[in-house]
Amino acid sequence: MSTKLNNYLTILTAMGLLAVIANGCKPKNVSSATSGDGAEKAYVAPGKYDEFYNFVSGGFSGQMSVYGLPSGRLFRVIPVFSVDPEKGYGYSEESKPMLNTSHGFVPWDDLHHIALSETDGIHDGRWAFANGNNTPRIARVDLKTFRTAEIIEIPNSAGNHSSPFITENSEYVIAGTRFSVPMGSNTDVPISTYKQNFKGTVSFISVDKNNGAMSIAFQVLLPGVNFDLARAGKGKSHGWMFFSCYNSERANTLLEVNSSQKDKDFIMAVNWKKAEEYLAQGKGQKQTVAYAHNVYNEKTHSATSTIERTVTVLDPKDCPDMVYLMPCPKSPHGCDTDPTGEYIVGSGKLAAVIPVFSFTKFQKAIADKTFDGDYEGLPVLKYDAVLHGEVKKPGLGPLHTEFDANGNAYTSFFVSSEVVKWRISDLQVLDRVPTYYSVGHLCVPGGPTKKPWGKYMIAYNKITKDRYLPTGPELTQSAQLFDISGDKMKLILDFPTIGEPHYAEAIPADLISKNSTKIYKIEENENPYAAKGEKEAKVERKGNEVHVYMTSIRSHFVPDNIEGVKLGDVVYFHVTNLEQDWDVPHGFAVKGANNAELLIMPGETQTLAWKPDRTGVFPMYCTDFCSALHQEMQGYIRVSPASANVPLTFSTNKAPESAK
Amino acid sequence: MKKLILITGIATLIYACSGSSENKTSDTAAAETATATETPEEKQAADARGIGKFTNVEVGETLDAAMADAGTKVYDVKCASCHKLTDEKLVGPGWKDVTKRRTAEWIMNFSTNTDEMLEKDAEAQAMLEICMVRMPNQNLSDEDARTVYEFMRKNDGIK
C-alpha cells in the first residue's frame, strides 16, 4: 500500500472516529437529558415495593433476571440454562438433570426471550417461559418459587430463536428454528446442498393449564429459511401464529450479503386450530428423534431427565389452508400483533418503512385467493391486499414493536438508535426519543397482551459505551426506563443489566407477590435422602459411596464430626435445612470440592458429591450468614488411606455413633 | 441541656415505636391500650401469657397421652435441634420443668408468634440475651404448638 493512500486512510479513519465520538458524547437534543422530575418518578423509597416485576432475558449469561420497576433494582437472577455455583444449580445432584440434553450435560445457553403465561390474553402471573438458543430448549420458570421447573429440548431445530411466544390462553408456547438444517436419517450432507436438503420447523409446545407441564404437540415442516421472531394472534386473530422469516434466498454462506438480496421476505401465518384438526385426522407423521425432557419435583426437591423418542410432524403439502405467507420488506425481524389482534407489525431490519398488516384484509385475501404465486409450495398473498399501510420514514433499522392501551405503538430502531411512537390507526409518527445506544428490544408492561398495563417503556440497549463509569474492555449492559404516561416519552432512569438483555416482560407486582412461596414444608419433603429432624441424621456406607444424611439449623450441623472416609470414596452430603422460617437458607461447602456450594432453602434437601483427593481432616461450613453464631456453624470430616481400618463414625456434641 | 437530650431521646423512642407499630394490626394496638388500664396484678398475669392469640389454654389434670405422642413427632423434626429434654442448655434452654416456669399460653404464643414475642415480650427478650440466637419461627400450627406443650408436660412428669 502506498504511503499516500495509507495517510489518506488514516485521516479518514480519524475523521470517522471523531464523528462517532462527537455523536456518541453529545446529547442529540434537549429532550435526551433526563427530565426534571425523572428521579422522583423512578424513586422507590427504602422499604417500599416496586409497582412492576420486570423479567429480563440474560442473553449469553443463559439466565433470567428479575428487576423492580420503576426503580430498576435487581432482585434475583434465576438460573435457567446455565450453571450457577452461587445457588448450586447444575452442581447439586438434585439439579444436574435440569441441564441434561440429547448431547449430554450442557452447562450453558443463550437465553433471548421471555413469555409470561396468559389467560384470556391477559397476564395471569403463573409462569415465565424462556428459550435456549444454542442447544434448542424451552424452559418454564414457576413464578411462585422463581425457579426453573421444567426444560424441554426441541428436536429438528438449530438456533431456537423464534421462541418462546405464547397464545392467549397459554395453549401453546411456540419454538421456531433460526437455522434450517438437514433433517431425518441422513444429515451428513454437503453444506452446499442447502437448497435440496435443509429444512426449517416450528414447534407447538402444549402447556397443561393446571400444572404448566410442557409437551411437544406437533411440528410444522417448512422450507429452509431462517425463522426469526413470532407472535400469537389474539382476539379476532386467536388461532393464528405469525412468524417473521428471512433468508428466503436460502443462502448458506455470508448471509450478511447473500440473504439480503431479495426486496421482500415473509411473515408466515400458521393456522394452529387447523393444524389441530389435521392432527386429529392423523395427517401427522411420527418421526423418531431424541430430546431431553427435564422436570423439577418440588416435593422430592429433585429433577429427573427423560429422553423422549417421537415427535409428530405436519407437512403443509398434506395440510392445505394451514400456512400462508405475507411478503414483508427486507429481512423482517420483529413481528408483533397489537392488543386488538387486528394488526401485525413487521419490521424489516433494512427497510425504510414499517409495514402494518391487517388481519381482516389477510382473511379476505385468502377468501378471494389474492395470491402472488407460491414459495416452495406455500401460497404467497399479495402485499397490497394484506397491507393496512406503511409508517413512512420512521427511522433506520426497525426491530421490535410494543403497544400501549391507547392505540399507540413503540418501535425500536437499532441503526438510528431511537424509539419512535406512532399511532396504529393513521400510521402517523407522534414522538421520537434517542437511546444510548443502539436499542434492541422494548418492553411495555403487558405490551404483548390484550391488556397493556402501560405507564412505562423500557429500552434494552445493545451498546453501552460511555453511559457508566468504565470497567475495562467489558462493560455492563444497559436498560433505559421511559415514562410513557403523557404524550411525550420521557427518559427517567438508566439501569445496568446482567448478560445481554434481549426481550423482557413486565407485570403488575401484586399478580405475583401474593403467591410467593416462603418455605418448603419439612413435613412434605419427599427427598429420599432427607433427614427430618436430627434423629434421622446418619452416615451410611454403600460400597465406596458414603452417604451423609445431614441436618442444618441455626447454627449447627448434625453430624459435624465424621471419620472413617477412605481415599477412593465418594461422599454424598445430603443436607436438609430444618428451618421453617422465611429467608433462612443455609449453605454448605467442603474444602477441595470440585464443584460448588449448596444453598438449601428452609425445608429443602440438597446433595453435594465430594471425592476427596488426599488424606487428612477437611473442614466444612455454612456459607450463608444465618445467625450471630454463623461462624460457629462448621464441622470436620476425616479422610484416611484406602487401607486404613478407621471405623465409619459420626457425631455432633456426643460420643461418635457407628455408621451402618 | 441534659434535659433536652433526654426529651429528644424519648421523642426518638416514641417516634421509633410508632413507626414500627404502623405495620401491626389494629388488634395489637387495642390490646396495648387495654393492658394500660389493667391493675398491676392483671398486668402481671397478662405478661405471663406472652403476646399472641393464646389467652386461655385449657389444660387437663392428667396427661393426654395421644396428644403428647403427636407432640413428640413435632419435637423431633422442629425443636430437638436446639432444645434438650434435660435442664442442659444447648442452643436454647433445656425443657426440663419448662411447664413449671412458664404458662401454657406463653409457651404456645412464643412457639407460634416467635418474632413478635422476641420484639416485645420482656421474658423472651431476656432469653435472647442469654442464648444470643433468635429462636427460629418453625411455622408450628396451633395444633402443633398444643401437642408440643402436652409433650413438655409429659417430660415434666405429668401422668
pLDDT tens string A256-280: 999 999 999 999 999 999 999 999 9
How far lies A85's CA from each of A89, A220, A474, A530, A570, in Å?
Answer: 6, 38, 22, 22, 20
Higher pLDDT, A20 or A313: A313
Measure the CA angle with vertex A191, ends A187 and A193; round to 5°: 85
Of B77, B90, B91, the CB nearest to A522: B77
How far lies A284's CA from each of A292, A312, A465, B141, in Å?
Answer: 21, 6, 51, 54
How far lies B99's CA from each of B94, B148, B157, in Å?
Answer: 12, 11, 10
Q: How far apart are CA B135 and CA A277, in angstroms?
A: 61
CA–CA min distance A511, chain B (Å): 22
- For B136, the closest chain A residue by CA position comes to A581
Comparing C-alpha atoms, which of A241, A242, A244, A237 is closest to residue A266? A244
Q: How far apart are CA A108 and CA A176, in angstroms?
A: 20
- B83, B133, B148: best to mutate for the A interface, most A CBs within 10 A: B133
CATH 3.20.20.450 matches A52-513:
no
- Contact (CB, 8 A) for A138 and A152: yes
Comparing C-alpha atoms, which of A535, A529, A533 is closest to residue A654? A535
Instruction: Mark yes or no for CB contact A580/B91 under 8 Å.
Output: no
Query: What is the DSSP code string of A130-198?
Result: EEETTTTEEEEEETTTTEEEEEEE-SS-SS--EEEEE-TTSSEEEEE-SS-EE-SS-----GGGHHHHE
ipTM of the complex: 0.79
Query: What is the tens place of the pLDDT at every residue in A89-101?
Result: 999 999 999 999 9
Instruction: Mark yes or no for CB contact A521/B91 under 8 Å.
Output: no
Comparing C-alpha atoms, which of A351, A353, A361 is closest to residue A383? A361
Chain-centroid distance of CA A632 in Å reads: 40
What confidence score (pLDDT) does residue A630 get?
93
Q: How far apart are CA A305 and CA B142, in angstroms?
A: 40
User: What's chain B's average pLDDT?
Assistant: 82
What residues contact residue A496 under an 8 Å CB cut-off, 6+ apart?
A: A468, A476, A477, A478, A479
For chains A and B, count residue pairs whose Cβ atoms are closer than 8 Å: 54
Which residues of chain B have a CB within 8 Å of the CB of A519?
Answer: 139
How far lies A409's CA from each of A70, A243, A291, A419, A429, in Å?
Answer: 21, 19, 39, 10, 9
Query: What is the tens place of the pLDDT at every residue in B52-79?
Result: 999 999 999 999 999 999 999 999 999 9
SS3 B150: helix
Instruction: Mark yes or no for CB contact B81/A578 under 8 Å.
Output: yes
The answer to whether the Cα torsion of A211, A216, A222, A228 is positive or negative is positive
What confidence score (pLDDT) does residue A350 get?
85
- Contact (CB, 8 A) for A344 and A335: yes
Instruction: Mark yes or no for CB contact B138/A627 under 8 Å.
Output: no
Comparing C-alpha atoms, which of A546, A555, A594 is closest to residue A573? A546
Comparing C-alpha atoms, which of A205, A219, A215, A217 is closest to residue A295? A215
Sequence ranges of the domains in chain A: 52-513, 529-658
Buried b (16+ CB within 10 A) or exposed e, A508-517: bbebbeeeee
Q: Any CB–CB contact under 8 A between A605 and chain B?
A: no
CA–CA min distance A629, chain B (Å): 7
Sequence ranges of the domains in chain B: 1-37, 39-155
pLDDT greater than 50 at residue B131: yes
Bridge partners of B132? none
Q: Which class would CATH give B39-155?
A: mainly alpha
Phi then psi for residue A266, to 5 deg, are -140, 150
- Contact (CB, 8 A) for A266 and A325: yes
pTM of the shown model: 0.90
Average pLDDT estimate for A91-120: 98
Q: At what angle do helices B142-155 and B104-112 cross, to 10 degrees?
A: 130
What confidence score (pLDDT) does residue A318 get?
97
Q: What is the CATH number of domain A529-658?
A: 2.60.40.420
Which residues of chain B have a CB within 8 Å of the CB of A533?
Answer: 76-78, 80-81
- Contact (CB, 8 A) for A133 and A159: yes
Q: Any CB–CB contact under 8 A between B133 and chain A?
A: yes
Query: What is the tens place of the pLDDT at every residue in A220-241?
Result: 999 999 999 999 999 999 999 9
Neighbours of A629 (CB within 10 A): 14
Which residues of chain B have a CB within 8 Å of the CB of A627?
Answer: 133-134
Query: What is the tens place of the pLDDT at every residue in A347-402?
Result: 988 888 999 999 999 999 999 999 999 999 999 999 999 999 999 999 999 999 99
User: What's chain A's average pLDDT?
Assistant: 94
Q: What is the dihedral of CA A9, A11, A14, A19, to 10 degrees?
A: -100
For chain B, first and last CA: distance in Å? 63
How far lies A591's CA from each of A84, A463, A555, A622, A634, in Å?
Answer: 19, 41, 19, 12, 12
DSSP A59: B
* Residue at grid coordinates 395470491: A371
Query: What is the tens place of the pLDDT at every residue in A561-616?
Result: 999 999 999 999 999 999 999 999 999 999 999 999 999 999 999 999 999 999 99
Which residues of chain B have a CB within 8 Å of the CB of A555?
Answer: 91, 133
Neighbours of A653 (CB within 10 A): 10
What confidence score (pLDDT) does residue A88 get?
98
Comparing C-alpha atoms, which of A345, A343, A311 is closest to residue A328? A345
Neighbours of B130 (CB within 10 A): 9
